[in-house]
Structure 1
């Protein structure tokens, strides 16, 4: 365990400023300001959960916005469900965003600012998602996407108006980047602060294994940790794949069709010749004539061209029509009229005068319809299969538009439907975790998770050859914990690990008590009753803390939040035990005269100070318009979103 950060505490890191320290400072300011805007127990009426000035937010609106936030998050993390989003702080984020947007809108209204209808319409028309294939606004696409997102036109217009007002209010401050040396000095000095201490560990593995749990202990542990064993939402999917092969086997082109196909490609199958031609293009006619004379005299074309600073090129097995397109019809006529081995030119081409040599002539015999019959049959079958595939797709699409059910569509098209076991959004079957995910079902699963129970079936292309699937939902299983009986061994292992961790924690707390009474950390660990590694020294600056960021070992981070001559506890990763951290001394930093440190700090602050100004402006707007929150109602909405009555 201690080896995980030995390299860090022994490294030398220069005075580096990252955004981490500054972000923590900004969050601290924001937390302090927000706390004053939340009167507790202020019940609101009419389903309202938040009041911002004269504007209100209802529980239904907040639920819809949370669902939209989940839909957006699922684009990056398909398996995410509402319970996980809420547990990660997503609900609080949605509430804060709504409050901030309404506050700025109300503040703008107080200042007499207005957004014209034309400006909002222009923003809507410029959104790429609402545009058709011609790049212009498409009303049908617009209405369909709003319906998919469960957003009304008025809600969209309201959000765009708020966004425009926010840009008007925030733009003048968010672009700020100038920071004075005087403002940067205390932050630069803070980064130079050095702390020294030591760290030891009480490993969980050093604690004797506990006795096997009783059924009651195991049930209690399982009940208290149900979220750990909860499986995310699963969906059983009904689908039918339709590929070109479904039709190709039954297609037998007639002789008339084969003859028509052969005639359409007669030029391709006719007898012809190909030639390999070496050529040089010369800008001046006299120089081209001299070059041709040298080649006719026996000098290789490539060598003659190189002697005058040019380079010969070779066209291999080229047909006359293709060569004419590359050079010119006159050059092609001359090249294909000359016998093999002859030198031609100079002939005027599109880029100059061409001197060429016919290096090889090959006669290609024509092919009769019998020679190419198999090729034509294969191609006609493929073409007719795609036509039949397209016709069936149009038939199914029309049926979906007319309101046909999945079963009706399957019956009318004589398709074979398949029902999957309940799958997560990434295609896994939690009941069979060893089973490999079928990549062919990726688009099918995505389509199933983009729809809701009761929605119409969907048509989804699944392969480049035109294969598509008709997709519908068979069943939706909300997030739920696996039954204890199915995962008993796993729960027993987790319970055993937890008991060892708690026993190690009790020993570590005893070590801390001894250290805080004056015993050295090394002696306290040695007399703890378990075999543990000897403590190691810690020596780091805040600049190192900032530079390493989240890669910093937990004991080092803890050391920078402690008082000198004290010991504290922090959990080791992966249930590995408990670190005991002792801070011996703090050496304050002083950046006066350190131009490099101050300049670096100014640069770092300049990259975020505009955002800080914008956040402070937004908080000031909230104080100006007034914010009231019904904490009880918000708690109810949060609980519902976490799985108590609202589909994740």
Structure 2
């Protein structure tokens, strides 16, 4: 036998087969290596600067952990959330690179002292004594997969980026030519004659004949048909279920409290107003005038005369002021106090402390239950994937849903349900999930195909397996079984038509030259005149909200008709009262601040978009999709 094989191996046919075999091995065995040679394994590049896979993974992991801590028990690690988080984390990394490059181009440097002061000012890094805690800081680094040098680099980069962003935002100021007409538009008032025609006030329609009701029943099958029902078995694996098995020790609880101390703190907040000018002498004069009792409008005029601006900063904690010296000065003053001028890269700042909201810290005893539940959920989320693999293996091995549910402690139910979650008796069917997860579980039931073997799939409701036993299609219910419903619907439609005809008649009469009040009297209908109607409806909430937009588009004496939540309404505009913005200086100041903030946000957004477009951003979508996978 061996001799025959050796003779066969020496023939040209055998040699040809060996060549084919070697070529096949080269193509299939090392083809991936050859094809991937020279490929870029960076997840993204920003102007040639790579964002490596490890950095992207860490950013996505940190964002997922932050979401889990923030949302708590309601957090579900489903594919859509992971994809959204991955995209958001990547975009944040890209923008970080873009702004970092711009800061380097501008030569912005952040000294070590500024980094240290900023870190020491973060409330979340303080211990029970209110001072910076090294242990809390290190716990934060461990829980976020960060090293100390990496975190310091992030802070340094962020402070440099803030300098760029604040420089862009500081130029935003609402011109009077914009604020005044906008306030005038907001405060404009209108008066009108209003006729309300609620369906409940419609006359009782004549009793219909049975033939009419049967015809209405047949012509509106969607209103009187039973929905599609699905007879299904469902098994659900969620972190909520697994968390019941998780044990958390007192030591773990205490360590988590220290690591997450900032979550249980309400930092002191201060409502601040700020003046920013470029001249120190003018800043001192403004501070003196403010301390002497000048109001914000006068200070704003003085700041504008000095080439600067005054802005209501709103309620901020210490971290909300990115300039450490300014934060220190603002939080050292009592309520009503005025800071001495503080210098920054943007000029000279003067801040008034308008209101102080004291901070507070909840003790471990106060947050014990919440923290315990959060830790259980986090551990359960890690266990869920491992258990899901075991459940899938059991299903693939031929086990039934009921068997795997009992073996692995899953939520299980056998139900006959419609798409809204109700049974044939019209009552909500009990499902093995929390209330918020009912809609995605019902979607999974109605996406499943009959005859398909159940397989565990990740959904917004958790890991779900569905077996469809029967599908009952929609069917028109017999007239006799829904006769009362048909009668009620027929009469409701008759009332609606009657009120619509009355409203249309009034509208036609007014368009024909009559006043709405006269037309209403002739029709035997009530009316009322309403005045001081504003766009936000605060003065007269009895005016139907559906009427507001059309009413503010009318000219004097013009009518309009709208369908409301409970019927119809007809209105005729009587008078337009223009507002005087100068009569409301506080409102003008408030609106100017709001517009300035919106303009600042828009400027920063446009600036970021321009930098991003200039930076030659290239994202490896294939790798991002891979990162979004569990």
Q: What is the TM-score normalised by the length of structure 1?
A: 0.40
Q: Whose relative contact order is higher, 1 or 2, with alpha carbons under 8 Å and at least 6 apart?
A: 1
In terms of Rg, which structure is larger? 1
